[in-house]
Amino acid sequence: MSCSPFDLRDYFLQELALPQQRQVEAHVKTCAPCREELARLRITEAALRCMADEEIPQRIAFVSDKIFEPSPWRRWLAAFWNSGARLGFVSAAMLSASLVLFALKPAPAPALEAALEANVQRRIQVAVVEAVDLKTKDLMKEIQSERVRLMLATDQLEQDERRMQRMQVIAANYVLPERYRGEAK
């Protein structure tokens, strides 16, 4: 975008005559959009100067050239992966083959089977023993706490019996005072 009577690209590339360049310079000093466009052109020039020079190709290559044509293997693979029907068929074939192989696989040897069974039984026994040990420990703790409670109750009962015996002795030896004897009869 340029509001100058001359194209800023021509000014930037120094293709204008000297009086026209002075006119553009005077205009750029007063016009902010033209200053911005000129700054963008300078940034573009700096970016282009940073790029490495590359040699121009000697001939133009076409897509139909054998150089760019994918190998037959790649063409087949691309066609295969892009076809849902083929993928479905291959998946079904692989599943069928795995089922056939599994069915034809020989059964494990009896010695191996017995060893596996023994190992499973041993693990079960270890787990049962551990569970029983835990339950036994819990029951022992519970019995111990009940034993302590029973001992406390026994002590309390013995104290109450002794108190009762003392009360009976005191009651047996108790004689009513005379002033109450006449009223009691």
Could you tell me the residue range of the domain that residue 87 belongs to?
A: 72-104
Least confident range of 2-11, 84-93, 130-139, 146-155? 2-11
158 in a domain, yes or no? yes
For residue 160, name the pLDDT band (cuts at 50, 70, 90): very high
Residue with tokens 């003392």: 166
pLDDT of residue 9: 79
57 in a domain, yes or no? no
Tell whether 100 and 127 lie within a shared domain.
no
Tell whether 86 and 148 lie within a shared domain.
no
62 in a domain, yes or no? no
Kindly report, residue by residue over 31-78, the tens digit of the pLDDT: 888 888 889 988 888 888 888 777 776 666 665 566 666 778 888 777
Say whether pTM exceeds 0.75. Answer: no
Overall number of domains in the chain? 3
14 in a domain, yes or no? yes
165 in a domain, yes or no? yes
Tell whether 128 and 176 lie within a shared domain.
yes
Tell whether 38 and 94 lie within a shared domain.
no
* Residues sharing a CB contact under 8 Å with residue 41, sequence separation 6 or more, in sequence order: 8, 9, 12
* Residue 1 token pair: 């975008």
